[in-house]
Structure 1
Amino acid sequence: MPEAPTPRLADDKGRQVSYLRLSVTDRCNLRCLYCDNQMSHRLTHHDVLRYEELLDLMGLAQGLGIGKVRLTGGEPFARRDFMDFLERARARFPDLSLRLTTNGTLLAPFAQRLAAAGVDRVNISLDTLDAANFARVTGQDLYPQVRQGIEACLAAGMRVKINAVAMRGVNDAELPGFLALARELPVDIRFIEFMPMGGAEWHARQVWKAEDILAEAKGLAGLTPLPRDADDAGPAQMFAIEGGKGRLGLITPLSNHFCASCNRLRITSGGVLRTCLFSDRVYRLRPALRHPGLGLPAVERILRLALRKKPVGADLLALRQAGQGVSATSMSSIGG
């Protein structure tokens, strides 16, 4: 008799997992204000998962029904030989949807190789279109390099999404510029509500809410709401822009959460599983992965056990005290 198929990953609320965010490093060449990247502690070389271990995790994920893997950091290209690893991943998993999130500063020289490796979607974190403001937000004067990365990816035929954390007092005056960019280029501009993450000080007044962005955007451009495409846009509500090549997107983890349809898991570069972005409850996979008598079967058991306790992020947000973060772990360590 043929073997029974391996049951797909699902949590105790019936949410099936089809998407894995896999961090390859906790290091980054930027120091973004909201990312709390100025940590004194960094993973040692020994504690970072080896590329072969990352590949093994990707193979396990695919076998459990996960069809999309997004490689993140820190900054992925800050890790040596990352592009070689990505090409190995494509050769080993030709049917897996491989995607990338990057700050774009080191991206341009690799755009053609990314396209050749079948990475057809690249998310680039860019919170401002002003070079001086970019330096203030990120701590580095690298805005021209990010624009070069965007242009190089578009020239290579890849789909580009620009993710901007929406913050009052930081980029709330730049909506006209972002809309102009989406008119000019075939890119998705996606504003993400500023979340109380990383243990850093956070105030509600800093949040530029999606409803306010949308109201302002409607006064600047003709917008047509588009049906949600879970495979393409994920949690974003997308809008076509009249006369534009690109689109506007709004991601609302605070004002209109999407926890009921959450389909993702996160594994950090240190081999720590997080079932919810807003929870600091974690599950250590690295010891099992490296144990000669345990390995991937034990990792699978941990995944399934962890999913039995996968929380609803909105419930954690509701319990948050004013001015406090909902997670004490920095975004750079989590992998976004």
Structure 2
Amino acid sequence: MQTKPALAPLPACRLPQPLIDGHGRPVHYLRLSVTDRCNLHCLYCRNLGRQQFIPHPQILRYEEIVRLVGLMSAGGVTKLRLTGGEPFVRRGCEHLLVMLRERFPQLDLRLTTNGTLLEPHVPLLGRLGLGAVNLSLDSFDRQTFAQVTGHDLLPAVLSALDALLAAGIRVKINAVAMRGINDRQLDDFIHAARSLPVDVRFIEFMPMGAGTHWSPESFWPAAEIFREVAARVALAPEQQVLRNAGPARMYRVLGGRGRLGFIAAVSNHFCASCNRLRLTCNGNLRTCLFDDHEYRLRGLLRHQACDDAQLARVLRLACLKKPVGAELLRNRPQGQAVAGTPMAAIGG
């Protein structure tokens, strides 16, 4: 992985300044990975070889995470999503959620999880008032689920889904679309969106990390998925507010309870409205998913001479160098990964 040295701290600023990148895009959204460890081994997330995990001393402490979130909140971040790996693999993740809610009650706090360890934590998520839970669920077929994840744990995920809905928590089901894997299971996903009050979102398989299952043959474009879905069910497009719009193009299922969404991260980028940063579990700031350049913050956090004003300055300077991911995609060699870092190390 190509890692940039942390930018040298500059003189402290008296007042907070917004996080805006060099293309004029303000940052409102932080995706924060709490661990690179996971109890699954999904085809699209990890490489096909033996996984090397980040040593625990190099993982950000919860207090360090809270400090960084405070700085980014002062810089305009209003939405925070905890990701992994699988967040609940890390001991004490529920305590981090409580700390974040108590310290930043104004934040739109969310979570991405594979759902296998989730059900016991659902009552807490309800009490904390999470904005939504994104549930990674690439198939409702037990055999296909095991093929994708490497583990036969679909019943645990479906139990967690039922518990989330019973608790009144908004659910987004994320399905990575893979030709030859789950492309014959559209009817199952459509049935879920018809019968449940959930968002079912198809995400294009992204060429992230060397040695994954990705190939041009496994790529299933969102436009093709949409055509196949529209041939099966009546859809009505949802109007989106630009600032708060996510990457998915959402459609109501007419006569149903839920919605269907299509995320064309590769074939039809949404860089113009990108408002996010990513923070890896070992404290590297990644300004673009498709760029392996990262800014190391852990050393600054643990340096007694580096105060919050200096850290905030570093964050703003890093944002100014944020690239346009679509340009990186266009320039990658045909058939190769756009970045060398697997998704498990970046954060889902």
Q: TM-score category by the smaller chain?
A: over 0.9
Residues 32 and 138 in structure 1, CA contact (< 8 A), matched pair in contact too:
yes
Task: Tell me, yes or no, if structure 1 residue 27 matches structure 2 residue 34.
Answer: no
Amino acid at match of 1:142: L
Residues 228 and 236 in structure 1, CA contact (< 8 A), matched pair in contact too:
no
Amino acid at match of 1:7: Q
Q: Choose the corresponding residue for 1:191, options 202, 207, 210.
A: 202
Task: Tell me, yes or no, if structure 1 residue 291 matches structure 2 residue 300.
Answer: no
Q: Which runs of 5+ in 1 are unaligned?
A: none
Determine the structure 1 residue equivalent to 2:127.
116
Q: What are the residue-to-residue correspondences of 1:49-64 with 2, within 5 Å?
A: 49-64=60-75
- Paired positions, count: 334
How far residue 228 of structure 1 moved from its aligned partner, in angstroms, is 1.9
Relative contact order, CA 8 A, sep 6+: which one is greater?
2
Q: TM-score, normalised by structure 1?
A: 0.96
* Structure-1 separation of matches of 2:15 and 2:168: 36
Task: Tell me, yes or no, if structure 1 residue 99 matches structure 2 residue 123.
Answer: no
Residues 243 and 273 in structure 2, CA contact (< 8 A), matched pair in contact too:
no
Amino acid at match of 1:84: H
Q: Choose the corresponding residue for 1:263, options 251, 268, 275.
A: 275
Q: Choose the corresponding residue for 1:10, options 15, 20, 37.
A: 20
How far residue 4 of structure 1 moved from its aligned partner, in angstroms, is 7.2
How far residue 295 of structure 1 moved from its aligned partner, in angstroms, is 3.9
Q: What are the residue-to-residue correspondences of 1:39-58 with 2, within 5 Å?
A: 39-58=50-69
Amino acid at match of 2:334: A
How far residue 249 of structure 1 moved from its aligned partner, in angstroms, is 0.1
Residues 204 and 263 in structure 2, CA contact (< 8 A), matched pair in contact too:
yes
Determine the structure 1 residue equivalent to 2:6.
none
* Structure-2 separation of matches of 1:236 and 1:113: 28
How far residue 204 of structure 1 moved from its aligned partner, in angstroms, is 1.9
Which runs of structure 1 show a deviation greater than 6 angstroms over 4 or more consecutive aligned residues?
none
* Structure-2 separation of matches of 1:233 and 1:176: 27
* Structure-2 separation of matches of 1:231 and 1:131: 38
* Structure-2 separation of matches of 1:250 and 1:209: 9
Q: State the superposition RMSD in angstroms.
A: 1.5
Instruction: Say if 1:265 and 1:195 are closer, same or farther in 2 by CA, change over 3 A.
Output: same
Task: Tell me, yes or no, if structure 1 residue 143 matches structure 2 residue 154.
Answer: yes
Determine the structure 1 residue equivalent to 2:3.
none
Determine the structure 2 residue equivalent to 1:70.
81
Q: What are the residue-to-residue correspondences of 1:190-269 with 2, within 5 Å?
A: 190-200=201-211, 202-230=214-242, 234-269=246-281
* Structure-1 separation of matches of 2:14 and 2:149: 50
Secondary structure of residue in 2 paired with 1:227? coil
How far residue 85 of structure 1 moved from its aligned partner, in angstroms, is 1.4
Residues 210 and 341 in structure 2, CA contact (< 8 A), matched pair in contact too:
yes
Instruction: Say if 1:49 and 1:145 are closer, same or farther in 2 by CA, change over 3 A.
Output: same
Secondary structure of residue in 2 paired with 1:135? helix
Q: What are the residue-to-residue correspondences of 1:129-140 with 2, within 5 Å?
A: 129-140=140-151
Secondary structure of residue in 2 paired with 1:172? coil
| Identical amino acids, percent of aligned pairs | 54
Q: Which runs of 5+ in 2 are unaligned?
A: 1-12
How far residue 231 of structure 1 moved from its aligned partner, in angstroms, is 6.5
1:14-69 CA deviation, whole Å, 9 max, x = no partner?
A: 00000000111110000001111655321111100001111111111111111011
Determine the structure 2 residue equivalent to 1:335.
347
* Structure-2 separation of matches of 1:105 and 1:314: 33
How far residue 316 of structure 1 moved from its aligned partner, in angstroms, is 0.4
Amino acid at match of 1:219: A
Amino acid at match of 2:189: F
Instruction: Say if 1:174 and 1:233 are closer, same or farther in 2 by CA, change over 3 A.
Output: farther
Task: Tell me, yes or no, if structure 1 residue 281 matches structure 2 residue 319.
Answer: no
How far residue 323 of structure 1 moved from its aligned partner, in angstroms, is 1.7
Q: TM-score, normalised by structure 2?
A: 0.93
* Structure-1 separation of matches of 2:201 and 2:144: 19
Residues 242 and 273 in structure 2, CA contact (< 8 A), matched pair in contact too:
no
| Bigger mean CA deviation after superposition, 170-179 or 38-47 | 38-47
How far residue 233 of structure 1 moved from its aligned partner, in angstroms, is 5.2
Task: Tell me, yes or no, if structure 1 residue 167 matches structure 2 residue 207.
Answer: no
How far residue 297 of structure 1 moved from its aligned partner, in angstroms, is 2.8
How far residue 200 of structure 1 moved from its aligned partner, in angstroms, is 2.4
Secondary structure of residue in 2 paired with 1:161? strand
